[in-house]
Amino acid sequence: MAASSGVSAAADRGDSECILEPLSLPESPGGVAAVEESPSVPCIFCEECSPRAEQDQLLKHMIIEHKLVIADVKLVADFRRYILYWKKRFTEQPITDFCSVIRTNSEAPIEEQDNYFLLCDVLPEDRLLREQLQQKRLREILEQQQRERNDTSFHSICMFCDKEFTGNRSVLFNHMARDHAFNVGLPDNIVNCNEFLAALQKKLDNLQCLYCERTFRDKNTLKDHMRKKQHRRINAKNTEYDRFYIINYLEFGKSWEEVQSEDDRELLDNVEEDWSDWEEHPVCAVCLFCEKQADTTEKLCLHMKEAHGFDLLKIKTEHGLKFYQQVKLVNFIRREIHQCRCYNCKEMFQCIIFLPMKMIHSYVHCQTVKMN
């Protein structure tokens, strides 16, 4: 292939000569709403249209019928507005003023050669258009996110236990993280929440694991798989979820992986920075029954034995608790103490300090017996 003038020449002239006035994003006779709600995207050159969801068909049509190639379409934030803009511009000036001309079969006879036109962001006008569309989409996404943050009419059912939640969306996400170990990140980082939950629910309804995305024969097998394999999380590599996270809208042409990798490179650039004054705080373990902290589990076990009459090591030995059973026991105790409730008699107390110690012994004993 051989490329001739067009974009490269325009780029050399500089932005000031190529773009003499601010870009204005196109609107239909019906206004902005009509543009956004239209179900189809027109061809730049003819009356051919394709549904928004099938933009690849329109791109194929423009390549075959009109010899136009649009580079990096995935980086165009609003494909319909982008197409409408260039549809108007191509009626005002020749296509060669904007596009590089790529000649195919350049060594063949002239009658066998073809000229294709490449539209890309090397052209300053195209680059500016893409950036404006990105900024517009970011504003819309941030506005949508703020509406969802303030929304108190949210209503949804947990996909794991069928409990209903109303009020703010954070209530449901916090419940799934706390009670089902299903964490999708901070609720404030999520946008288009209802669509996100619907996409997750659809996968589960299709008996598909949210993480490894394997399909199983029935719901119980799927639940056991996700629990045992710790697959109660989404697949971060699945780009289907990118549109539900704000980070993917922040920088033009960059995904969350690229943003994070740039942060890592910045750290690597400062490898010679002096860390001699760094003081690492020791990791503290917290007592199951009070606010006491200790820097080792041995000290904490001794405290609980002396202050609360709770001998975790003895219970572990007497009942032969394995690691997973110990974790279940500790989590169970923390939950019941946090809720000020006695497991054995279900009696509720106004404060943890009013929870009788004999009841602590009682429900700890009952739970260890139940686990075995």
Query: What is the Cα–Cα distance from 315 to 298, expressed in whole angstroms?
Result: 15
pLDDT beneath 50, residues of the chain: 1-21, 28-36, 354, 356, 358-372
User: Residues 351-372: pLDDT tens digits?
Assistant: 555 454 544 444 444 444 444 4
Residue with tokens 């490179």: 265
pLDDT at 304: 85
- Token duo for residue 158: 């947990």
Residue with tokens 């190529």: 18
Query: What is the Cα–Cα distance from 101 to 193, expressed in whole angstroms?
Result: 44
Backbone angles phi, psi at 330, to 5 degrees: -65, -45
Q: Is 369 exposed, middle or buried (0-12, 13-18, 19+ CB in 10 A)?
A: exposed
Query: What is the Cα–Cα distance from 257 to 236, expressed in whole angstroms?
Result: 9
Mean per-residue pLDDT over the chain, rounded: 78
Q: Is 44 exposed, middle or buried (0-12, 13-18, 19+ CB in 10 A)?
A: buried
Chain centroid, CA 179 distance in Å: 21
Comparing CA positions, the residue from 88, 71, 85 lying closest to residue 122 is 71
